[in-house]
Structure 1
Amino acid sequence: MENLIEHYNFKWLGLHLIERAALLHGEFVKIHPFVDGNGRTARLLLNFELMKAGFPPVIIKKDIRSEYYDSLDLAHTTGDYGNFIKLVTRSTEESLNLWLSVVG
């Protein structure tokens, strides 16, 4: 966990917010610090980061759940977070569009 916080505070500081939030989520899940609730906690961290910057929270919808797990597995086994960051970006855009359609 200490290493994760160091990466978050220093190594990832210059990254785009969505990329930084996705990395925080993915690396937290990889550590698996709790007996139960790691995925839920990681999604809360993801949304907390997004919401701090003014983005709406994202929802990982049931129809992309397998893509979510596959992209996380790929990231954890290869270190390539590209697909996972794209999934989070797409989910963020969908949430933002939904929120804008409600208030617009």
Structure 2
Amino acid sequence: MEQLMIWYEQAQIENLHPIARAAMLHAIFVGIHPFIDGNGRTSRLLLNLELMKDGFPPIVIKMENRLAYYEALDKAHMKKEYDDFIELVAIEAEDSLNLYLSAINQ
């Protein structure tokens, strides 16, 4: 967890894009797996907190994207390749934003 916090502080200093930072925070936290139960829920809360801190809406991983979510998360954890996971989070963030904007326009 200490290494996660060091990474997080460095990501903020380097101005890592908020979506990339949130996605990577989620993926790294899940890889640490600090709790017996609830690691996925906790990491998704961290993801959404990080997004909302920067003005993005919270996201929900849609059921039809669940397999892609697990595959991208596994790739991030096993190979330290985060691009697929960041892209998935970015798509979900865009979908959430579009949902909010469509509600405002009605």
Which TM-score band applies after superposition, normalised by the shorter structure? over 0.9
The alignment of Structure 1 onto Structure 2 pairs a total of residues equal to 103
Distance 2:58 2:45 in 1: 9
Alignment of 1:1-104 (within 5 A): 1-10=1-10, 12-13=11-12, 14-104=15-105
Q: CA deviation at 1:86?
A: 0.3
**Gaps (5+ residues) in structure 2?**
none
Q: Which amino acid aligns with 2:39?
A: N
Q: List gaps (5 residues or longer) in structure 1.
A: none
What's the RMSD between the two structures over aligned residues?
0.6
**Partners of 1:45 and 1:76 in 2: CA distance:** 17
Distance 1:33 1:19 in 2: 22
Identity of aligned residues (%): 56
